[in-house]
């Protein structure tokens, strides 16, 4: 059985905050959600709820790519990688 890969646009439930988070990205063992204030938490503190469609994921990466924060940096790198694959 393969392990589900949480990715940009997916929705998770964060137990400590009691909030549903839309995922910006996952790095190492941390989930970084979209929104303000910026935050992160360990993947073990989150429960997967909804998988984003490929179209929604790409839409969010494009929106994030204009940011000067770590979210924008991640999105620009990810979009560049995907261009090379296509």
pTM: 0.90
Residue 86 pLDDT greater than 70, yes or no? no
Tell me what pLDDT residue 85 has. Answer: 76
Q: Is residue 2 part of a domain?
A: no
Q: What is the mean pLDDT of residues 4-26?
A: 96
By mean pLDDT, which of 5-9, 22-26, 36-40, 46-50 is the weakest? Answer: 36-40
| Per-residue pLDDT tens over the stretch 36-78 | 889 999 999 999 999 999 999 999 999 999 999 999 999 999 9
Torsion of CA 33, 80, 6, 40, to 10 degrees: -30
Domain for residue 52, yes or no?
yes
Q: Is residue 63 part of a domain?
A: yes
Structural domain that includes position 74: 11-85
Residue 4 placed within a domain = no
Which H or E run contains 32? strand 30-33
pLDDT band for position 1 (cuts 50, 70, 90): very low
Task: Please count the structural domains in the chain.
Answer: 1
Residue 3 lies in a domain: no
């Amino acid at each position: 059985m393969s392990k589900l890969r949480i990715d940009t646009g997916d929705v998770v439930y964060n137990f400590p905050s009691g909030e549903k988070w839309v995922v910006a990205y996952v790095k190492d063992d941390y989930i970084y959600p979209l929104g303000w204030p910026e935050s992160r938490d360990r993947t073990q503190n989150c429960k997967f709820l909804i998988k984003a469609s490929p179209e929604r994921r790409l839409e969010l990466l494009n929106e994030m790519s204009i940011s000067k924060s770590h979210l924008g940096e991640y999105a620009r790198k990810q979009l560049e990688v995907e261009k090379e694959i296509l």
